[in-house]
């Protein structure tokens, strides 16, 4: 890719591109209900999202003070993934303004990619169902390279798979793992304040902070000006 090409933009998925909380929390509460436990309220569960299915289940169990063995947690995670895959786009939708923002970035020549701690096949399934997959040169999950955010190798390999170059790349995300992977890979990061995080994005001090996807192209432009 020529050095003068617009930089590649790499996105987190859950809480950044797509509001996936309805279906993730639905799967969590399905698993909890099968264990005879109370559902976790939506508002509480929303901030538990972001570290993968296994961690989400662990957090849901912690709310009930329930401890399980590794084997039980493996079983619950398998049940969660099976149910979630069947209901992955029941209520999940792109955040308002996303597609128009992606259209602008594409028209400006930016290559786009996804770097998520969600499993790759689930990420592709979700983006397929929402008609978003063709927009991205690469969709990489926590199992794609055997590492997860904030390991900088994950971001470097995602950029490479998408045919981009790390110098000048920009990360877009909603949580500490996104800021962390960007800092470790030494690329700027745009934070969104409408995603899933137990630490407000403003406190994580991204290079730019946006509250709506309509503001994304201008945030990208401000980071790429000479």
Sequence-distant (≥ 6) Cβ neighbours of residue 186 within 8 angstroms: none
Residue 137 per-residue DSSP state: S
Three-class secondary structure of residue 195 per DSSP: coil
Distance set, CA 41 to CA 26, 61, 66, 81 (Å): 10, 13, 17, 20
12 is catalytic: yes
CB-CB contact of 138 with 161 (8 Å):
yes
Cα 224 to Cα 201: distance, rounded to the nearest angstrom: 22
CB-CB contact of 192 with 11 (8 Å):
no
Residue given tokens 């859950």 in the structure block: 14
Q: 12, 23, 174, 178: which one is catalytic?
A: 12
Active site residues: 12
């Amino acid at each position: 890719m020529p050095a003068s090409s617009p930089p590649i933009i790499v996105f987190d998925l859950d809480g950044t591109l797509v509001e996936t909380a309805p279906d993730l929390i639905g799967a969590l509460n399905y698993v909890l209900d099968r264990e005879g436990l109370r559902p976790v309220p939506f508002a509480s569960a929303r901030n538990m999202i972001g570290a993968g299915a296994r961690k989400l289940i662990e957090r849901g169990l912690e709310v009930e003070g329930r401890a399980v063995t590794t084997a039980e947690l493996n079983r619950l995670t398998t049940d969660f993934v099976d149910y979630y895959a069947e209901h992955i786009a029941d209520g999940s939708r792109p955040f308002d303004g996303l597609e128009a923002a992606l259209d602008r970035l594409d028209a400006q020549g930016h290559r786009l990619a996804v770097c998520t701690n969600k499993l790759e096949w689930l990420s592709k399934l979700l983006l397929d169902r929402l008609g978003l997959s063709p927009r991205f040169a690469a969709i990489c999950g926590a199992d794609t390279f055997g590492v997860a955010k904030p390991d900088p190798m994950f971001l470097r390999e995602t950029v490479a798979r998408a045919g981009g170059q790390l110098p000048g790349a920009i990360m877009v995300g909603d949580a500490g793992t996104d800021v962390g992977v960007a800092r470790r890979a030494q690329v700027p990061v745009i934070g969104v304040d409408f995603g899933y995080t137990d630490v407000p994005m403003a406190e994580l001090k991204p290079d730019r902070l946006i509250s709506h996807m309509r503001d994304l192209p201008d945030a990208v432009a401000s980071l790429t000006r000479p």
